[in-house]
Amino acid sequence: MDVTESAGEEQLNVPGWDGSPPAAEGDRTAPAVSPPIPFERLRWAPQKTARGGRFEPSVGVVAPAPWGVSRKPQAAGRSRARSLVREVVETSMLALLVFLAVRASFQNYRVEGHSMDPTLQNGEFLLVNKLVYSEINVARLSTFIPFIDAGGQTQRSIFHGPQRGDIIVLRDPRDTANQRLVKRVIGLPGDTLEVVDGHVYINGRLLIEPYITQPWHGSTPKITIPAGDYFVMGDNRDASWDSRYFGLLPRDLIIGKAALSYWPLSKFGEPAHASPTLAETVTRP
């Protein structure tokens, strides 16, 4: 087979295809050759992939890269970087939401002073639940949700209100912006309360307080606690600034209930909310 070059293109001089007589049968010097196939109709021979499969791409189709190898490593790197940034942002936002939710529900305080001895000691750290006494405005809510009946109540507790014996953290009525106090709830709205020679009487019944170790021998006049107010006292009655001096405590000054004592470790656990009990019979007229 002769090869000639013309105008930069290779042409085949094939006997029998360009009009010349075909080779005689048995003539080994001039074997018969099929006419050339136009280039655009060529097909690649079947190839084996890295996984043993077969493909037969046509001209102009890019053959796939070996298994697991990307033809655009830079684009893949940018995609991984964007995915990493998105994960970091999502994790940070979730952590922030969790922090804000916990911060809105709980807060830690350090006991300073001895007004709650021996139940709480100076330097003890408390975790306070601010959510447990939360309230909603039922009257306002009923304007948006028609089947909710306010029933004459403006505010309603989501869980429950302060209960007798609860240890609470409150804003000091003398300085509500800066000072915080820790006391125990003694009188509830509707109670008629008086203290006689250190003994507390509620609705004429003696309040039995097992947490008192240092009795107080003073007295207070009889009062009836109105709705929305509470009577609070410290367990160390001789060294406590409480409702005996600043009067009844409005509900909106209560921050929350002491849920956990976490330092020192010897005091770890729920503070002694040990509910006081009322005597079974009326002992005070």
- Joined together, the tokens standing for residue 69 give 């190898």
Per-residue pLDDT, 195: 95
The answer to whether residue 254 sits within a structural domain is yes
Q: Which of 92, 183, 219, 275 is catalytic?
A: 183
The answer to whether residue 145 sits within a structural domain is no
Assess whether the previous peptide bond of 15 is cis (omega < 30° from 0).
Answer: no
- Joined together, the tokens standing for residue 31 give 């074997």
The answer to whether residue 207 sits within a structural domain is yes
Per-residue pLDDT, 281: 83
* pLDDT, average across residues 52-67: 52
The answer to whether residue 90 sits within a structural domain is no
DSSP state of 58: B
Q: Residue 270: pLDDT band by 50, 70, 90 thresholds?
A: confident
Q: Residue 10: pLDDT band by 50, 70, 90 thresholds?
A: very low
Per-residue pLDDT, 11: 47
Task: Specify the long-range contacts of residues 76-79, CB closer than 8 Å, at least 24 apart.
Answer: none
Please name which of 167, 161, 196 lies closest in space to residue 275, comparing C-alpha atoms.
Answer: 167
Q: Are 201 and 194 in contact (CB under 8 A)?
A: yes
- Joined together, the tokens standing for residue 61 give 């189709």
The answer to whether residue 174 sits within a structural domain is yes
The answer to whether residue 120 sits within a structural domain is yes
Domain count within the chain: 1
DSSP β-bridge partners for residue 220: 195
Annotated active-site residue 183? The verdict is yes
In the chain, the amino acid numbered 55 is F
Q: Give the domain CATH number at 245.
A: 2.10.109.10
Per-residue pLDDT, 213: 85
Its domain, for residue 212, covers: 106-130+161-278
Q: Which of 20, 115, 222, 261 is catalytic?
A: 115
DSSP β-bridge partners for residue 200: 195
The answer to whether residue 224 sits within a structural domain is yes
* pLDDT, average across residues 190-206: 95
Is the pTM higher than 0.75? The answer reads no
The answer to whether residue 45 sits within a structural domain is no
Q: Of all helices (H) and strands (E), which one includes residue 47? A: strand 47-48
Annotated active-site residue 72? The verdict is no
pLDDT tens digits, one per residue of 131-182: 999 877 766 666 666 666 656 667 777 778 999 999 999 999 999 888 999 9
